[in-house]
Copies of this chain bind each other. A is one copy, B any other.
Amino acid sequence: MAERLIVIGGDAAGMSAASQARRQRPDLEIVALEKGRRTSYSACGIPYHVGGEVESLDDLVARSPQEFRANQRIDVRIEHEAVDVDLDAAKVTVRDHVHGREILLGFDHLLLGTGARPFRPDIPGIDAPHVKGAQTLADADELLAHARESRCTDVVVVGGGYIGLELAEAFTRWGAEVVVVEAAPQVMGSLEPEIAAKVAEAMRRHGVEVHLDTPVEAIEPDHVVAGGRTLRADLVVLGLGVTPNSELASGAGIELGVRGAIAVDRRQRTSAEGVWAAGDCATSWNIVSRRPGYVPLGTVANRQGRVAGINIAGGYATFPGVLGTAVSRFCDLEVGRTGLSRKEAAEIGIEVVAATIESTTTASYLPDAEPITVELLAEVGSRRVVGAQIVGGQGSAKRIDLMAAAITAGMTADEVVDLDLSYAPPFSPLWDPVAVAARRAASMLDGSSRKR
């Protein structure tokens, strides 16, 4: 009998692993279990579907179960939910929702790609039917249907994370009154407070009500109680970030790590022999902090899946690590971040200078020049760049990739100043804002070394 790989979860991590394993091992039997009806979809695309920019949900699907079956001989079983893993017996209990039965499947290799789900705080009313997440395509359909049918009068977004803010914008496109309530003093916890403040300001400028320091106390059928206020709501959207689906793993006795995600090493091995994990359910190695973190993003899921697939097939691959690089657009504002924030640097004991500069996205004399703010963190002593955040008009956010490369290469602030960056008036001032921030950081480092 052929060796069998069972993949649990038919999205980015799981199907990348399955595809890589197939490529390396034509002889392997590969079964992929997906409890929903679709594989390999872009959850990140959901806000754009809800906002009406993406017509069909099918556009968000990179590859269908039929394609995996026909082109890669991967036995994808949709509406099949793994409900238990027995490591000693090397068997998965599967609930087959199509035929309403339960089956047992043996495995030689097991890949956990169970993903994550929107975090649901423990408050009264959280499980009411008008409280929705935005994780699956079924969620997307429900959200869009709501927007279209109810004409969306009042939407409350609970939590100011990426997806929450993107959905807030999407609903304003339908003419809804949108309110974001956030328990913390800022939106988007992974951003520096000053950068996050600019995001909140842009949201407000575009008609979104943003309440900070405002924890949600209760959800009622037609309103939300938050920070003592009563906010009308015919729809409540969860925007608090996600929590890893790691219960199947922990139930089987597999170790969990940061934020309750499945602990993996850089080859994507879990604590159990023959069991691998990748994507939003697993931890990920951080390049700067040199320790595991939790970064539930599609790019990471794809990479980790690839690495797991190669290793499962008997090859050797290691996950290169993350910087937590992320970009987003809110209304007319772009934001990007990579590496450590000031808070993260402090937590792991890295002493930094933080240089913040204001510039323009193009030569200042062009009519479409827009403000851009760059914050750059560099380590005192080594002078290496350890983090950067950018917020501003069109063309701002993607500059963060340059900083990701610089951080990965271990460049100092001085080396960033010296980079031969591109210039033409429609693209940047003569000195790119990123280089200006690096120069500021370098001179702050000079100052801090003189003080010693």
A243 contacts across to B, CB distance below 8 A: none
A48 contacts across to B, CB distance below 8 A: 363, 365-366, 425-426
Q: Are B326 and A430 in contact, CB atoms less than 8 angstroms apart?
A: no
- Contacting residue for A421 out of B59, B328, B401, B424, CB 8 A: B401
A406 contacts across to B, CB distance below 8 A: 405, 409
Taken together, the copies of this chain in the complex come to 2
Q: Are A328 and B399 in contact, CB atoms less than 8 angstroms apart?
A: no
Say yes or no: A326-B411 contact (C-beta < 8 A), given A45-B363, A54-B366, A366-B54: no
Give A433 Cβ to nearest chain B Cβ, in Å: 11
Q: Are A424 and B329 in contact, CB atoms less than 8 angstroms apart?
A: yes
Query: Is A260 part of the contact surface with B, judged by Cβ < 8 Å?
Result: no
Query: Is A19 part of the contact surface with B, judged by Cβ < 8 Å?
Result: no
Query: Is A402 part of the contact surface with B, judged by Cβ < 8 Å?
Result: yes
Say yes or no: A422-B365 contact (C-beta < 8 A), given A398-B399, A427-B327: no
Q: Are B329 and A397 in contact, CB atoms less than 8 angstroms apart?
A: no
Q: How far is the CA of A399 from the CA of B427 in the complex (A)?
A: 11
Within 8 A of B (CB), among A313-345: 320-329, 334, 336, 338
Say yes or no: A60-B365 contact (C-beta < 8 A), given A411-B405, A425-B48: yes
Say yes or no: A420-B42 contact (C-beta < 8 A), given A401-B402, A411-B405: no
A400 contacts across to B, CB distance below 8 A: 422
Q: Are B419 and A327 in contact, CB atoms less than 8 angstroms apart?
A: no
Q: Are A420 and B53 in contact, CB atoms less than 8 angstroms apart?
A: no
Say yes or no: A430-B59 contact (C-beta < 8 A), given A405-B402, A424-B326: no
Q: How far is the CA of A223 from the CA of B200 in the complex (A)?
A: 58
Query: Is A351 part of the contact surface with B, judged by Cβ < 8 Å?
Result: no
Query: Is A270 part of the contact surface with B, judged by Cβ < 8 Å?
Result: no
Nearest CB in chain B to that of A335: its residue: B424
A395 contacts across to B, CB distance below 8 A: 395, 398
Say yes or no: A425-B42 contact (C-beta < 8 A), given A53-B367, A395-B398, A405-B409: yes
Q: Which of A12, A45, A323, A421 has the most CB of B within 10 A?
A: A421
Query: Is A246 part of the contact surface with B, judged by Cβ < 8 Å?
Result: no
Q: How far is the CA of A106 from the CA of B47 in the complex (A)?
A: 69
Q: How far is the CA of A287 from the CA of B420 in the complex (A)?
A: 10
Which of these binds chain B: A1-9, A21-29, A78-86, A295-303?
Answer: A295-303
Q: How far is the CA of A302 from the CA of B431 in the complex (A)?
A: 9
Give A13 Cβ to nearest chain B Cβ, in Å: 12
Nearest CB in chain B to that of A406: its residue: B405
Chain A residues in the interface with B (C-beta under 8 A): 12, 42, 44-45, 48, 53-54, 59-60, 62, 287, 297-300, 302, 320-329, 334, 336, 338, 363, 365-367, 395, 397-402, 404-406, 408-409, 411, 415-416, 418-428, 430-432, 434
